[in-house]
Amino acid sequence: MSIRTGLFQGTQLRQEMKINPRLYQAMDLLYMPLLDLQQHIKQEMLNNPFLELEEPQVTEEETQPVEKEKEKEKDPDEIDWEEILLDGFDAGGRRAEYEEKEYFEPVSVETRDLYDHLHDQLVLLRLSPRQVLLGEEIIGNIDEDGYLTCSLEDVITGLNGWLTDHGVDWVQEEDESLAPFTLPDAEQLLRVIQAFDPPGIAARNLRECLLLQLEDAGLEDTLACRVVRDFYDQLINHRWSEISKELGISAREVQAATDAVAKLDPKPGLKYAAPAANYITPDLIVDKIDGEYLVFLNDTSLPRLKLSRAYREIARDKAKFKGENKEFISSKLNSANWMIQAIEQRRQTMLKVMNFIVDRQREFFEKGVQYLKPLTLREVAEVINMHESTVSRVTNEKFVQTPRGVLPLKFFFSSGLSTTSGEDVSARGIKAKIQKLVADEEARKPLTDQAIVNILKDEGIQIARRTVAKYRDQLGILSARMRRRV
């Protein structure tokens, strides 16, 4: 059997779907948070001459004197819009002048961090240039939590290698400043740095960090310091009875010592970390007015767009434009129309989604997170007659200002658990219930996962013990054995 190879032509009929590029852009507009949308609109206004800002409405009496004044005084530098269109939108000096006046938001300057704080203390000491160089190397390897991130051997190996690469000739005895760094040098200087503020800095592990803080507080001879130094494994596992037997004291005394340890800072460097500049501008506002929750768009700062009347009037005379100019005008006019419609569609879609959320989660707004009902993107999509992916884009990275704080829209969506009454309860509400049960429990008899299951069952909530354990872990709550007090 032979196989025939070669190129052949043929016809084939098939169905396929292609998405219009503007549909992609419309989906991007839904996805954009408010601040991103503001920047996008500003950019579109620079690129499209048919878009302009919609000015506030004024009365006819106010406009007549202004129009008469304009007729009397004609600006000699008035822009010839028709000429600009015929030249393919090259506004010359006027456009450049406009772009120079573009507003740029101020950028925050660099703030002082943990390295700066430690370096200031280092240079105040009476150290040789050689010691300062080693100290800077050690400080440079301290992370924002305050821990030394590498071994001292790595510090001196890296520093000696760097100096060798830069042509330093080592002299062992004649000049100490040119002698290679040794491990005792690093250990001695590390001890100096560990005495800096904040207490516990430059530790190599949590145990050393706690010991440094106890030493700084003058508690090196206390039971708390001995527990951290000699019984660290039992301490982190809350095995009070083992420690009490070893020391020959009561478990209550051990627990009192560990309470003092719990007050120490496990990440001392964070107090000098540069604060993250996270500013949230809510896209929506929910306010209670006359007993009803009303939804508003927080888009007063968003530019209102309209078609430029001057450009539309010129574009009507199609006989003047041919070739590329005609194509340019048609493209920009259609794009401007589409942009105005897409922004309005975005507004209406966001209002529909949020209004449905408010209706569904009214008990949450009235009573709190424990009354949050389960909700999925599909449920919202079915009610407002939109695709699930559209609802997902609307809720992504969007925030709403409510009487209960500023919340991401994703907050209102969670899975649910069934109850004996036939209603569903939100998983987020279940977590809030578990958190409250643990907060109110008796310290000597903490609630086990099974006990929490039984309590929730009495409230009509069907939940498995492993689900309670999973939610407890997500909330950062220890097991009952670890929470038990004596």
Q: Is residue 124 part of a domain?
A: no
pLDDT in tens, 219-237: 888 999 999 999 999 888 8
pLDDT at position 2 over 80: no
26, pLDDT greater than 80: no
- Can you give the CATH number for the domain in which 456 is found? 1.10.10.60
Decide if 285 contacts 296 (C-beta within 8 A): yes
**Mean pLDDT along residues 49-74:** 57
pLDDT at 398: 87
Does residue 214 belong to any structural domain of this protein? yes
Q: Which of 120-124, 292-296, 425-429 has the lowest mean pLDDT?
A: 425-429
How do strand 399-402 and strand 284-289 relate by DSSP bridges?
parallel
Domain boundary among 238, 273, 308: 273
**pLDDT given at position 427:** 78
Q: 301: helix, coil or strand?
A: coil
Q: Is residue 448 part of a domain?
A: yes
Of 214, 244, 273, the one marking the end of a domain is: 273
Is 433 a domain residue? yes
Question: Out of 90-104, 169-183, 270-284, 422-436, which region has the weakest mean confidence (pLDDT)?
Answer: 90-104
Structural domains counted in the chain = 2
Which of 112-121, 188-197, 218-227, 413-422 shows the lowest mean pLDDT across its residues?
A: 413-422
Partners of 402 in beta bridges:
405
- Residue 22 predicted with pLDDT over 50: yes
Q: Which of 328-342, 354-368, 390-404 has the lowest mean pLDDT?
A: 328-342
Residue 294 pLDDT grade (very low, low, confident, very high; cuts 50, 70, 90): very high
Least confident of 214-223, 290-299, 303-312, 381-390: 303-312
The Cα 307–Cα 50 span in angstroms is 5
Structure tokens at 7: 């190129």
User: Alpha carbon 275 to chain centroid distance?
Assistant: 13
Instruction: For residue 230, tell me if it sits in a domain.
Output: yes
Domain-embedded: residue 194: no
pTM of the model: 0.59
pLDDT at 165: 75
pLDDT above 80: residue 99:
no
Q: Distance between CA atoms of 226 and 377, rounded to whole angstroms?
A: 55
Distance CA 24, CA 232 (A): 58
266 lies in some domain:
yes
For residue 431, give its domain range: 415-486
Predicted confidence at residue 146, as pLDDT, reads: 93
Domain limit, last residue, from 273, 291, 319: 273
- pLDDT tens string 394-419: 888 889 999 988 999 888 887 766 56
Residue 94 binned pLDDT confidence (cut-offs 50, 70, 90): very low
Whether 199 shows a pLDDT value over 90: the answer reads yes
450 located within any domain: yes
For the chain, helix (H) and strand (E) counts, in that order, are 23, 8
The predicted-structure confidence for 438-485, as pLDDT tens digits, reads as follows: 888 887 888 888 888 888 888 888 888 888 888 888 888 888 887 877
Provide the token pair at 44. 């579109």
